[in-house]
Amino acid sequence: MEVLDLYIELLPQALLDDITTNRCIPFVGAGFSRNANCKNSKSIPDWDGLGQKAATYLKNYAYNGAIEALSCYEEEYSRANLVEMMAKAIHLNEVYPGEAHLSFCRLYFDLICTTNFDFLLETSFAELYSRNGKPYHVVTNEGRLSTYLAEKTTIIKLHGDFNEPQNMVITEKDFDLYINPAFRK
């Protein structure tokens, strides 16, 4: 019996109906990546864990949340160093999908929204469907929204990913620009 089968009966029938009729858009956050597998049994931090990791590098800094800590880290060390620290913290090149990712990707959704910077969903789709080709498409920025194709599962990475680190939404400034592009002026 798969992991998914164990939990399906716990879901309310109305939610199951919405999932099976494709009237549900899942929102995948940082906590989901904690279900991944990692070489050497390393743990993967959630969003707050990333902030706490950044804070350990800041002298005389009292932790006051992930966004502030990541913003201070960027200010102190640069965007490139922030992205590099985050990639190391989430073990980007050592992590692979866990059973939760694979089970989730066996479900069908037209659209999946995520704030995760990693590639676990894409890797899960590729691993599961490399032979029979369940198509998926990744949107990482506003400019790619026009490439939305209804016949594919579209993964919208709301905060970008490591392929375009300059467009990742990580810091206070990034969130300000994301919410109101007029701040760019």
What pLDDT is stored for residue 7 in this prediction? 72
pTM: 0.84
Tell me how far apart the alpha carbons of residues 185 and 179 are, in angstroms, rounded to a whole number. Answer: 14
In degrees to the nearest 10, what's the CA dihedral of 137, 142, 144, 149?
A: 50
Give the long-range contacts of residues 121-127, CB within 8 A, separation 24 or more.
121/28, 121/155, 122/155, 123/96, 123/97, 124/97, 125/153, 127/97, 127/102
pLDDT band at 1 (very low <50, low <70, confident <90, very high): very low
Residue 15 has pLDDT above 70, yes or no: yes
**Average pLDDT, rounded, for the chain:** 88
The predicted model gives 149-168 an average pLDDT of: 88
